[in-house]
A and B are shown apart, each in its own frame.
Chain A
């Protein structure tokens, strides 16, 4: 059940929200969408779900269009969170679950086990408006996955949650993936994507600027980080050939270098420059890549 987007474009009047986006999301994989505000993530999700018609291009899942007769296979957590404030958690989930093709008794059974898992079984008969924002979000998350979808779309699933709850939800997402659900999720928290996704795509102003597997993206980025700890002043490294960026730390510095060979020349340049406690070559973080790629196109 692969989700394929081919040359998808969406225009609102003269504004292009998504520009010629092509993607392939394999079954039971986790795919991360990164991008700043207004990059086109939500618009892309809405097009995948058929809530918005695309201006151009093709979207297919499992070889066909996504239509309402497949809605029992699809789960969606919108960025705009919302539930009926006056309904109880139970009534709410029964209604939403039925709309996803479940029957009442299976909704109640699933809901009980999920509430148990999220350590909030007492919310079963509470009205949603009585819950805190974070707990409402847990309920909303349950509503997106209660029918065991094959394709799950999560728009900023972890925003507004405390670290304990983020861990709880992350684990639930990973479990779903291992049971065969393809998951697409968006975030502007790089560390979540870095931790969870094999495949990712960075969107900027509707255009994919980086896309592929996490490892390939990091490898092809080329640039590395070099961390040096010591008591000396390392400012002279600023002008060392191959050094792109120099950041002074409390007890040393962090360099961005063109490629890993540069580290060796830096290493020799440090000989006899005093006591070095640490010298480490690091892969670039997704954060660095994001700032580099997205920041570059601002200029």
Chain B
């Protein structure tokens, strides 16, 4: 069997069997299931009984329109006219016979007003609902009093017509932009999480092998370069397994709960019909971005000899990806800015930012090609330096002092 395969499958299998991996995967799956079933969970906890609200109508005419309005918009509220005095009504509320007491009346200008009494006024949903319904009634009363007819009223409140049209033929329409924003956001987030999670995993794995001193046996039986890339790909496969699991479960859950999930999230991130090329770019930039950061992580991991030092050394890498992420988030709303344009060519930022530009704007193909070229070049260079540092670094023990160690590792792997 090929050594690359042996190391890769060992990395994959031994990682997938660890408790921390299983626990974090299960927890995330639970979270996904919970998030997609949010509505069902809320319903399960509500008692199903509607809130009883007592109404004293001093005007004698407001109850019916209010009750109609409430019943048409909410099932959770049930109004009933209360015969007793206001004082008796308040006492009934305090005795928990009713959730609340509403006293309706007409003021001096013949317009509706109301007071709301409850044991506590924390249930703002009910209050807002009643207030809103009452507001509508008030508008109707007021317009009637001033003699404005219904059609004029409808005209006044109709929204203004506002069309946005891109003159550039290949520019994206509003709808397309919103869809692009969705997929760009998802990809940015996935790459960000992948680099932080799996980059950390690679560095820790390498550092573990180093600190347990098993590394010297490993590099005496397989070349450090093979070892490094087998490790990177092994962890990548692990990540792929995890992501596929998450997406699969998420998708199944969404299918099962489709009724509850119309609108909202999915209309903002209209992932339904984004063009194929955007998906391809997403995959290309994701893979390149992962490789770039993974190589960096393996190199950094090979420099430390104790696991405790990993976090300290990997910090700069985390900062890099964070900066890239924040620039990209800024770019979602201003994809044409100079900053976005420049950073889309800088290798550590380009996987996120060039993809953002490709997804949201109409970019000449040479710019994309240049960015990918620079990215691939940097990965190759980093792999080359990484392999050298790795080779030297794995034989180097002692307290780590990043920059000095870096030079020392390079010197160790070199003929002099």
- A78 and B217 form a contact (CB under 8 A): yes
Instruction: Report the Cα distance A12→B6, complex, angstroms.
Output: 33
- A12 and B217 form a contact (CB under 8 A): no
Residues from chain B with a CB closer than 8 A to the CB of A188 are: none
- A100 and B395 form a contact (CB under 8 A): no
- B395 and A55 form a contact (CB under 8 A): no
Asked if A106 CB lies within 8 Å of chain B CBs, one says no
Q: Mark A77-110, 1 if CB is under 8 A from B, else 0.
A: 0101111110100010001101110010000000
- B216 and A95 form a contact (CB under 8 A): no
Asked if B240 CB lies within 8 Å of chain A CBs, one says no
Give the contacting residue for B216; candidates A13, A82, A87; CB below 8 A: A82
- B215 and A82 form a contact (CB under 8 A): yes
- A87 and B14 form a contact (CB under 8 A): yes
Instruction: Report the Cα distance A46→B14, complex, angstroms.
Output: 28
A-B contact pairs, 13 of them (CB 8 A): A12-B411, A13-B411, A49-B220, A53-B415, A68-B226, A71-B221, A76-B217, A78-B216, A80-B216, A82-B215, A83-B214, A84-B14, A96-B221
Chain B residue at minimum C-beta to C-beta distance from A128: B212
Residues from chain A with a CB closer than 8 A to the CB of B14 are: 84, 87, 91
Instruction: Report the Cα distance A83→B217, complex, angstroms.
Output: 9
Asked if A113 CB lies within 8 Å of chain B CBs, one says no
Chain B residue at minimum C-beta to C-beta distance from A76: B220
- B220 and A82 form a contact (CB under 8 A): no
Docked complex: B383-416 residues within 8 A CB-CB of A: 391, 395, 397, 411-416
Residues from chain B with a CB closer than 8 A to the CB of A74 are: 220
- A99 and B214 form a contact (CB under 8 A): no
- A95 and B220 form a contact (CB under 8 A): no
- A99 and B6 form a contact (CB under 8 A): yes
Chain B: residues with Cβ within 8 Å of the partner, total of: 30
- A68 and B213 form a contact (CB under 8 A): no
Instruction: Report the Cα distance A54→B414, complex, angstroms.
Output: 9
- A51 and B220 form a contact (CB under 8 A): yes
- A95 and B10 form a contact (CB under 8 A): yes
- A52 and B395 form a contact (CB under 8 A): yes
Residues from chain B with a CB closer than 8 A to the CB of A51 are: 216, 219-220, 391, 395
Residues from chain B with a CB closer than 8 A to the CB of A71 are: 220-222
Asked if A143 CB lies within 8 Å of chain B CBs, one says yes
Nearest CB of B to A81, in Å:
6
Nearest CB of B to A50, in Å:
8
Residues from chain A with a CB closer than 8 A to the CB of B214 are: 82-84
Docked complex: A29-66 residues within 8 A CB-CB of B: 46, 49, 51-55
Q: A12-B416, A87-B14 are in contact. List 20 more A-B contacts (CB 8 A).
A: A11-B416, A12-B411, A51-B395, A53-B415, A55-B415, A68-B222, A68-B223, A76-B221, A78-B217, A78-B220, A80-B216, A81-B213, A82-B217, A83-B212, A98-B1, A99-B7, A99-B221, A100-B221, A143-B217, A144-B217
Q: Mark B212-247, 1 if CB is under 8 A from A, else 0.
A: 111111111111001000000000000000000000
Instruction: Report the Cα distance A87→B221, complex, angstroms.
Output: 19
Residues from chain B with a CB closer than 8 A to the CB of A144 are: 217
- A52 and B412 form a contact (CB under 8 A): yes
Residues from chain B with a CB closer than 8 A to the CB of A78 are: 213, 216-217, 220
Docked complex: B46-105 residues within 8 A CB-CB of A: none
- B7 and A80 form a contact (CB under 8 A): no
Q: Mark A161-202, 1 if CB is under 8 A from B, else 0.
A: 000000000000000000000000000000000000000000
Give the contacting residue for B415; candidates A49, A54, A80, A91; CB below 8 A: A54
Chain A residue at minimum C-beta to C-beta distance from B414: A53
Docked complex: A265-284 residues within 8 A CB-CB of B: none
Nearest CB of B to A65, in Å:
13
Instruction: Report the Cα distance A98→B10, complex, angstroms.
Output: 10
Instruction: Report the Cα distance A81→B211, complex, angstroms.
Output: 11
Instruction: Report the Cα distance A49→B14, complex, angstroms.
Output: 28
Nearest CB of B to A13, in Å:
7
Instruction: Report the Cα distance A55→B413, complex, angstroms.
Output: 11
Nearest CB of B to A64, in Å:
17
Residues from chain B with a CB closer than 8 A to the CB of A98 are: 1, 6
Residues from chain A with a CB closer than 8 A to the CB of B208 are: 84
- A80 and B220 form a contact (CB under 8 A): no
Instruction: Report the Cα distance A187→B134, complex, angstroms.
Output: 95
Instruction: Report the Cα distance A84→B216, complex, angstroms.
Output: 12
Residues from chain B with a CB closer than 8 A to the CB of A54 are: 415
Nearest CB of B to A90, in Å:
13
Residues from chain A with a CB closer than 8 A to the CB of B411 are: 12-13
Chain B residue at minimum C-beta to C-beta distance from A84: B214
Nearest CB of B to A263, in Å:
49
- A53 and B413 form a contact (CB under 8 A): yes
Residues from chain B with a CB closer than 8 A to the CB of A76 are: 216-217, 220-221
- A80 and B10 form a contact (CB under 8 A): no
- B222 and A99 form a contact (CB under 8 A): yes
Residues from chain B with a CB closer than 8 A to the CB of A55 are: 415-416
Residues from chain A with a CB closer than 8 A to the CB of B219 are: 51
Residues from chain B with a CB closer than 8 A to the CB of A46 are: 395
Nearest CB of A to B226, in Å:
8
Chain B residue at minimum C-beta to C-beta distance from A140: B217
Nearest CB of B to A20, in Å:
15
Chain A residue at minimum C-beta to C-beta distance from B10: A95
Residues from chain A with a CB closer than 8 A to the CB of B6 are: 95, 98-99
CB-based closest 6 A-B pairs: A82-B213, A78-B216, A99-B221, A80-B213, A53-B415, A82-B214
